Amino acid sequence: MIGSLRIRVPVLTGLILAAGLTLTGCGPAKAGAAVIIDQQRVPISMVQNKVEAVTTQRAQHGLEPKPADDLAREQIQRLITHELYLRVAAQRGVTITDGQVDKTIADLEARFGGAAGFQEQVAAQNIAPGDLRTFVQDFLIADALTKSISAGATSDAETAAAQRELETLIKQTAQGLPVRVNPRYGVWNPENGAVTATPDSVSVPGSATPVTPGQ
């Protein structure tokens, strides 16, 4: 179910928080970038497009509109989390095939009575239409990592030890991942695992005006 995706994908994020990681968040982002992950620059326009697509999709399914700033932060956080998942997966030798993604999407569509019913659930999770495969990939990576680390555990103590091992791996990986979020959108806060707004957030010089989603 899509509900299980919503719950299980952030499991790895929860472990990140428990590990107390700190992603680099100091210094203003380069003008015109919503976020810079390592050296990968994500333009403000890309985040705006995602917000507009999600807003349109929610309206088409009769869902309550969401504030554009909140949607933007959610999209940015997913971009950061995706990069972290990929790096941890590479270290653990975890790979997800296109076939696995295809099968998961097909299974979800079947559970919701077809593609139309599933798309309503996708809209409810604020997933931009072009990001569904990435979302599912992250879910599968998180699931595979959990199984990889805890394989062979036969007691609560062994399971707890496996969880600590995964927490350590995530923390080490995250500490090596430079992230700079445009202050217009807030800051990456490792204490709650979110890109959060700050009362004194200001736009970076030369950046675009605040997002105004399409109808």
Provide the pLDDT for residue 120: 92
Q: What is the mean pLDDT of the chain?
A: 78
Joined tokens for residue 50: 């995602």
Joined tokens for residue 169: 């791996």
Locate all alpha helices (DSSP H) within 112-213, ordered by sequence.
115-124, 132-150, 156-175
Query: Where is pLDDT greater, at 152 or 102?
Result: 102
Provide the pLDDT for residue 172: 75
The dotted CATH code for 2-151+158-187 is 1.10.4030
Q: How far apart are CA 52 and CA 110, in angstroms?
A: 28
Of 136, 200, 124, 151, residue with least CA distance to 8: 136
Provide the pLDDT for residue 4: 45
Give per-residue pLDDT as tens, 175-210.
778 888 999 998 876 554 567 887 654 444 333 333
Task: Give 64's Cβ-side CA count (13 Å radius).
Answer: 2
197 touches 69 (CB < 8 A): yes
Give per-residue pLDDT as tens, 85-137.
899 999 999 999 999 999 999 999 999 999 889 999 999 999 998 999 999 99
Instruction: State pTM to two decimals.
Output: 0.74
Find all residues with CB under 8 Å of 191, minimum gap 6, and list them: 17
Find all residues with CB under 8 Å of 90, minimum gap 6, and list them: none
Residue 19 has pLDDT above 70, yes or no: no
Q: How far apart are CA 69 and CA 51, in angstroms?
A: 9
Provide the pLDDT for residue 31: 54
